Structure 1
Amino acid sequence: MARRRRRAVLVGVGCVVALAILATVALTVGEVRMSAATAVRAAVGLGDPGEVYIVQEFRAPRLVSGILAGAGLAAAGAVLQRLFRNPLASPDVMGVTGGASFGSVLVLALGASQSLIPLGALGGGLLAAVLLGALGWRSGLPVTRMVLVGLAVQAGLAAAVNLMVVRFPRELAGSALQWTAGSLYGRTWPEVQGAALACLVVLTLLFLQYRTLAVLDLGDESAGTLGVAVSSARLRLLVSTVALGALAAALTGPVSFVALAVPHLVRLLVGPPTAATLVVTGLAGAALLVGCDLVVQHLLPVHGLPVGVLTATVGAPWLLILLLRESGPASRRTA
């Protein structure tokens, strides 16, 4: 136990250091290069007005969005995988991020303020959860089949988003397209501030509830004898997770596979999940998404590529491997 705790601390510190380095690069590298000291001064409003404008209005909102969205998606994926006891469960695979994209684009289609996008994303994510429950749980499907239902829900909501984008006036279509592939481009403080506050609140609530998962792991009967109201506890965890995934998607659109892959990687490095590993998972998700965004901005030859394209390209083989493992002979014997 002590060794596991030390390993979690070491991995967490490594993630913090990596995130600090990536954040420094994100604020200093671009068409207008500046030193780290200059970027930090510009971030707090000091120095050349042009540099202050670049950092505060373009680079800082994008960076904050990547940190919050990456942490939120990774933490939501970790909780869903443990709640469903299935490594395939994640907000993007089960349709939550598709619903959040639908709600976000609907807000734009109605001409509402961009500050309401987090509310639209939350409503869309909850809609996806209701559809998943109606199509999956009522039918008594096993969890692996429920994942396939989630993929169908995700595809259907993505089609609805594409239909709205086609019907948009030309000036709004570009703003909406970022929610079809997942992108941090063009983030503004009115969007970031609302979603950031909500993400922090939900992350805190999820962390406070996370110990309940350890009791639920003992089984419903044992958890009940220990004083846990099993149904309400599962519902609270599920609603919190859906809300967190939807709010993260409000900042990025449907960025794929961060929520699916990061919890697995953290478990490989740290061991079985605990409340401490949830923090490490959030830090690792933030570092991964910010790093991927820097790659698509500065290292790939294709200009303006959405970060969701890179995460999907890397994550699709991971999903295929997990599906093959879940449908293998061992899984069929234990079904």
Structure 2
Amino acid sequence: MTLAIHPGGLARRRRRTLLLCLLALALLVALTAAGLSTGEVSIPPLTALRALFGAGDGGDVLVVQQFRAPRVLAALIAGAGLAVSGALLQRLFRNPLASPDVVGVTGGASFGAVLLLALGASQLLVPLAALAGGLVAAGLLGAFAWRSRAAVGRLVLVGLAVQSGLAAAVNLMIVRFPAELASSALQWTTGSLYGRSWTEVQLGGGAIGLVLAVVLLLDRRVAVLDLGDESAGGLGLRPDRDRLRLLLLAIVLASLAAALTGPVGFVALAVPHLVRFLAGPPTPATLVLCALLGGALLLAADLTVLHLLPVPGLPVGAMTATLGAPWLLVLMIRQHRPTNRSPR
């Protein structure tokens, strides 16, 4: 009976996921048009889209291509990377609270980027420094929790401790900075899309796109690991090695996204939950949906702080942190809610 039911249910789930992906893509196009057309100089959406490709009035082309498009694309790329990284971490840890900002990865990326700025190195090296910092944070987490196979709640506490310690180190460096460097380093403590350049977007977008493609190709391995270490080993995988490889990919994604935006929270934590609610169990298609909704969420948050809130200059990280704090609290309460079921 089970075999007779599954094909129809699987087909319905695939159609629903495809429809959700198309809706998310339409939302992305609408948000992109809004991001390119709104600002101090208002440009009609169709004119802004044409200006993106160099057509139309020279002034419109300048505003869209040099000021608005890099910021919009940075939000889309970083949001996609963060969402997929969060989905991957939650599956690997089997922990709905796991995300790059909770377990300390984005804090490590910020530490690496700010340290590079403190040393006076070129900002073109910021993505590499952020990646190195994310790997250091992941190493600290692994040293304290992974090998000891800490419980879910303890793993989150260790990650929060790592994140707090790295944030304190970042703040100390900023206090010691010369005044001319403090403002450029401050974005790594708040999360900001201000002043993104085409060089950053091209480098970060190319790297994140490459890692996303690898993650999609390895999704079958993640699905096998979901069955448990014994089953995965019986199917020919080496669970520890494959899990470490996928964990490194998640860290790389989060670190590269942080190199574009700074430590933006909430996106990596919330989007995988939303996708599971809308589309059901994870598949390669739901990873694509995660990427689309992650980009849409970060861009929507940035447009909100730019045009809807009365506080000028508010970084997008402040907006996402405001949303993320109560979300994390609700998840932790649900995670540790006692059950009244008695064992039989």
TM-score (structure 1 length as normaliser): 0.96
Q: Which residue of 1 aligns with 2:330?
A: 321
Rounded to whole Å, the distance in 1 between the matches of 2:287 and 2:175 is 40
- The reply to whether residue 231 of structure 1 matches residue 240 of structure 2 is yes
> Residue 200 of structure 1 corresponds to which residue in structure 2?
209
The residue aligned with 1:267 is: 276
SS in 2 for 1:231: helix
Correspondence for 2:7: none
How far apart are residue 172 of structure 1 and its match? Answer: 1.4
Distance 2:129 2:209 in 1: 18
Match of 1:143 in 2: 152
TM-score, structure 2 length as denominator? 0.94
Q: Which residue of 2 aligns with 1:52?
A: 61
Match of 2:13 in 1: 4
The match for 1:302 among 283, 301, 311 is 311
Aligned equivalent of 1:18: 27
Whether 2:40 is the aligned partner of 1:31: answer yes
| Pairs aligned (count) | 334
Letter aligned with residue 189 of structure 2: T
Q: 2:192 is matched with which residue? A: 183
Change over 3 Å in CA distance of 1:94–1:331 after alignment to 2: farther
How far apart, CA to CA, are the structure 1 residues paired with 2:196 and 2:340? 43
Alpha-carbon distance in structure 2 between the residues aligned to 1:319 and 1:73: 16
Aligned match for 2:102, one of 68, 93, 101: 93
Q: CA deviation at 1:249?
A: 0.9
C-alpha distance 232-139 of structure 1, shift in aligned 2 (>3 A): closer
Q: Specify the code of the residue in structure 2 equivalent to 1:301.
A: P
Deviation at residue 46 of structure 1 after TM alignment: 3.2
1:119 CA drift (Å): 0.5
Residues 96, 333 of structure 1: alpha-carbon distance in 2 compared, 3 angstrom cutoff: farther
Deviations 1:301-330 (A, max 9, x none): 000111111111112111001111112214
Q: Is residue 2:114 matched to residue 1:105?
A: yes
Task: Report SS of the residue matched to 1:94.
Answer: coil
Give distance in 2, aligned partners of 1:252 and 1:32.
Answer: 24
Q: Superposed, which structure 2 residues align to 1:55-70 within 5 Å?
A: 55-70=64-79
C-alpha distance in structure 2 between counterparts of 1:330 and 1:162, whole Å:
41
Alpha-carbon contact 1:114-1:190 (below 8 Å) kept = no
> Which stretches in structure 2 are left out of the alignment for 5+ residues?
1-9
Provide the rounded CA distance (Å) in 2 between the counterparts of 1:75 and 1:316: 20
- Give the letter aligned to residue 174 of structure 1: S
* SS at structure 2 position matched to 1:202: helix
Q: Deviations over 1:83-130 (max 9, x none)?
A: 111100111100001111111112212222222111011001000000
Larger Rg: 2
Structure 1 residue 213: Cα displacement: 1.2
SS at match of 1:329: coil
Q: 64-73 vs 226-235, which deviates more?
A: 226-235
Q: Distance in 1 between matches of 2:273 and 2:137?
A: 24
RMSD, aligned CA: 1.6
- Code of the aligned partner of 1:42: A
1:289 to 292, 298, 303: 298
How far 1:332 sits from its partner (Å)? 11
- 1:271-328 Cα offsets, whole Å, 9 max, x none, are 0111110000110111011001000000000001111111111121110011111122
Residue 141 of structure 1 deviates from its aligned partner by: 1.6
Instruction: Report Cα offsets for 1:167-212 as digits up to 9, x if no partner.
Output: 2221211111111111111111222221111101111111111111
1:165 aligns with 2:174: yes
